[in-house]
């Protein structure tokens, strides 16, 4: 059984409804030729979906991030060929984030600080929240900015933060 036969036969992973164009269907024929970063993107997406269905948000978060990065690299190395898949992987990841308790609980802590201190630098926010890992704060702020909960403006080697 080949790699893509395994993905096709995976019954543990929820698949999009037939004809649904706003998600990556792991069974599309053109993916069977893909290896390398395309294969990585598919594999990590499959694992992310499985983990999310199993309630393992930590693993789902990691696998969605790896899938999105794999699609980004595949798209860059193949001249934009995978732009649609990159967009869909990023959208699915962002949708997951909105249900992720790490994001939801974290933004509940960080947003009041950002509102009370308009223009706070991200590096200063790290210092204000020593109980939250920098990587977690970065994750929360990235998705808060992408969903327009906050505005993040590059300022030197950090970001200036404002409530939206």
In this predicted structure, what is the pLDDT of residue 14? 46
Between CA 8 and CA 16 the distance in angstroms is 13
**Tens digits of per-residue pLDDT, 54-100?**
999 999 999 999 999 999 999 999 999 999 999 999 999 999 999 99
Q: Which long-range contacts (CB under 8 A, 24 or more apart) does 5-12 make?
A: 7/42, 7/43, 7/46, 10/46, 10/50, 12/50, 12/53
The reply to whether 105 and 82 lie within a common domain is: no
In this predicted structure, what is the pLDDT of residue 11? 41
The reply to whether 107 and 137 lie within a common domain is: yes
What pairs with residue 159 in β-bridges?
Answer: 154
8 Å CB contact between 41 and 85: yes
Range of the domain at 137: 101-163
In this predicted structure, what is the pLDDT of residue 12? 43
How many structural domains compose the chain? Answer: 2
pTM for this prediction:
0.78
In this predicted structure, what is the pLDDT of residue 26? 72
**Tens digits of per-residue pLDDT, 149-158?**
999 999 999 9
The reply to whether 94 and 129 lie within a common domain is: no
The reply to whether 23 and 74 lie within a common domain is: yes
Between CA 9 and CA 50 the distance in angstroms is 14
More confident residue, 6 or 116: 116
Instruction: pLDDT band for 25, please (50, 70, 90 cuts).
Output: confident
The reply to whether 95 and 105 lie within a common domain is: no
């Amino acid at each position: 059984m080949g790699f893509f036969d395994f993905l096709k036969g995976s019954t543990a992973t929820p698949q999009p409804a037939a004809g649904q164009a706003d998600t990556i269907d792991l069974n599309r024929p053109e993916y069977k030729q893909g290896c390398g970063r395309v294969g990585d993107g598919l594999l990590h997406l499959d694992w992310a979906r499985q983990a999310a269905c199993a309630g393992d948000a930590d693993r789902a978060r990691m696998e969605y991030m790896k899938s999105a990065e794999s699609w980004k690299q595949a798209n860059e190395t193949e001249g934009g060929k995978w732009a649609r898949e990159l967009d869909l992987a990023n959208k699915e990841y962002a949708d997951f984030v909105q249900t992720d308790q790490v994001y939801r609980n974290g933004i509940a802590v960080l947003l009041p600080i950002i509102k009370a201190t308009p223009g706070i630098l991200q590096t200063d926010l790290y210092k204000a929240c020593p109980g939250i890992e920098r990587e977690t704060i970065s994750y929360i702020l990235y998705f808060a900015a992408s969903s327009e909960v906050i505005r993040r403006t590059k300022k030197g080697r950090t970001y200036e933060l404002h409530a939206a």
